[in-house]
Amino acid sequence: MDSADVCRALGISKRTLQTWRGNGKIPFSMLGGKVYYKESNVRDLLLSGMKPIKK
């Protein structure tokens, strides 16, 4: 899945996803300068009920 797919699935912004990558909350791979995520990792986040912190 690419970043846009993950943002839609989790209902988060691109910036939140970037923060989660930086904090190690979601594993990712880079291919040709583009970030990709395993569907199983995204599903695990959905099942864990992780929600972004609203400020």
Assess contact for 25 and 51: CB atoms under 8 A.
no
pLDDT in tens, 7-54: 998 889 999 999 999 999 999 999 999 999 999 999 988 888 766 555
**Cα distances (Å, whole numbers) of residue 8 to 4, 11, 14:** 6, 5, 10
Written as one letter, the residue type at 27 is P
Q: What was the pLDDT predicted at 47? A: 87
The tokens of 34 are what? Answer: 């583009």
